[in-house]
Amino acid sequence: MSQSSRKILYCRCAFAQVVPEATKNEVLERLCESGKTFECVSDLCEMSARKDERITKLVEEGQDVQIVACYPRAVKWLFHQAGAPFPNEDQVEVLNMRESSAEEIVEQMLKP
């Protein structure tokens, strides 16, 4: 996955509240400080439940993407539930804020 062409999608997990608040805040703060371009959504679960059409536009076919959210299997299912195509496994990396520390997430996002 090429870092220069990689898109970062950050989920705030605003409604489910299953990700520790401190982790979400630190990851978002460090992402903002990095100067990298990223897309922030309030809650992928809520978007999926409403079958929000914007979820399809969050990941474009052929583009490498890092999704900062929760469990990879859950993120994949959210896209499926919303009727949105999920990127190929070699084009997507899901970073799990439920199990990883903010430092681990940031290190993965910013690695060369």
The domain segmentation of the chain, as residue ranges, is: 7-110
Q: What is the mean pLDDT of residues 49-57?
A: 88
- CA 100 to mean position of chain CA atoms: 13
User: CB–CB of 105/97 below 8 Å?
Assistant: yes
pLDDT of residue 88: 84
Quickly list DSSP for 58-105.
HS-TT--EEEEES-HHHHHHHHHHTTPPPPPTTTEEEEETTTS-HHHH
- 5 secondary structure, DSSP code: T
pLDDT over 80 at 60, yes or no: no
Inform me whether the pLDDT recorded for 2 exceeds 70: no
**What does the pLDDT read at residue 61?**
67
Task: State pTM to two decimals.
Answer: 0.89
Share of the chain above pLDDT 90, in %: 65
